[in-house]
Structure 1
Amino acid sequence: MLNKIMMTGRITTDLTVVTEDNYSYCKFCIAVDKQKQNSIDTIETDTFTCIAFDDNAKSVSFLYSKGGIITFVGSLRKAPDKSVVIIVEKLHFQNRFAVKVDVDSGQLF
């Protein structure tokens, strides 16, 4: 069975990495525009809850911020409360994005 999804959307929440036991995660929401209908002027959006773990969580919180556009490949999972979340598996970068520098190590991202 195949369970893959590619999403591009605007981040609607603040990004914070949470560390519990031996793993870390970053839970955030994205707003994805629906396709515009021919006779309708307004664009509607769908909101999705996403979770990135470990290195992906650190990368998401470091490279992106609320209001930024993110593109990633992930998979759908059912949460304990019967809602659906998207697990971020691979980040995709557009040709244009702001380069950030890790102040502690001097590493460019």
Structure 2
Amino acid sequence: MNKVELVGRLTKDPEIKLTTNQTQFCNFTVAVDRRFKDQNGQRQADFINCVAWRQTAVFIQKYFRKGNRIGLVGSIQTRSYDDQSGQKKFITEVVIDEAEFVESAGAPAGDVYRPEPASPVPTQSFNPPSADSVAASAPTAPNMQIDAPVSGGFEEGQSGELPFEI
């Protein structure tokens, strides 16, 4: 199984490019914090190269900017090529299948774009926090458990109100 799940911050604004066949794609790097601090108490980060194709690339370019936290699901892919001097170069990158909002500034957390045939790109707007706002540097909320009992239920395709606030 080849599956990668990442949560990190974009290192620059994503840009859409086109292949010679006019297929849209987007290369970007995500800074992902390591789980543990180093000997000096500093948290290290890995800079992971990613590529998204077609509607997923458009979604990322449209809704995310440098510094935004992003959740990604994909797979690792390796490839090689010969550079101008004839030396073989190897590339390892994550091919993105899904992208989702991690921060909730302007967009509900957990919104996910999973490309499906004939599925339009979501049309909600996303306004990233300004650099001087508290939200730009705030940590994410901890996982919370809601102990209120839920009465009844919803069938697929139905909506309604929950008996408690989230």
Under a length normalisation based on structure 2, what TM-score does the superposition of the two structures give?
0.56
Give distance in 2, aligned partners of 1:7 and 1:47.
Answer: 11
Do the aligned partners of residues 15 and 95 (structure 1) sit closer, same or farther apart at CA in structure 2, a change above 3 Å counting?
closer
Q: Residues 39 and 65 of structure 1: is their aligned pair in 2 closer, same or farther, counting only changes over 3 Å? A: same
Larger Rg: 2
List gaps (5 residues or longer) in structure 2: 81-88, 108-122, 126-166
> Which residues of structure 1 form unaligned runs of 5+?
100-106
Task: Give the aligned residue type for 1:45.
Answer: A
**Counterpart residue identity of residue 85, structure 1:** E
Q: Secondary structure at the match of 1:96?
A: coil
Inter-partner Cα distance in structure 2 for 1:28 and 1:16: 8
- Separation in 2, partners of 1:4, 1:69: 20
Does 2:39 align with 1:34?
Answer: no
C-alpha displacement of 1:83: 2.1
1:78/1:12 CA distance change after superposition, 3 Å:
same
Please state how far the C-alpha of 1:5 moved relative to its aligned partner.
0.6
The count of residues paired between Structure 1 and Structure 2 equals 101
Deviation at 1:95, TM superposition (A): 6.7
In structure 1, C-alpha distance between the alignment counterparts of 2:32 and 2:63, rounded to whole Å: 19
SS of the equivalent of 2:90 reads: coil
Structure 1, residues 74-107: CA drift from partner, whole Å, max 9, x if none? 00000323121000001123371424xxxxxxx4
Secondary structure class of the residue paired with 2:59: helix
Stretches (4+) displaced over 6 A? none
The alignment's C-alpha RMSD in Å is: 1.8
In the TM superposition, residue 16 of structure 1 has moved relative to its aligned partner by 0.5
Q: Give the share of equivalent positions with the same residue, in percent.
A: 22
Q: How does 1:37-52 map to 2 (within 5 A)?
A: 37=37, 40-52=40-52
Q: 1:29 Cα deviation (Å)? A: 0.3
- More divergent stretch after superposition (52-61 vs 74-83): 74-83
Give the superposition deviation at 1:38: 8.2
Matched with 1:7 is: 6
Picking from 76, 92, 101, the partner of 1:93 is: 101
SS at match of 2:25: strand
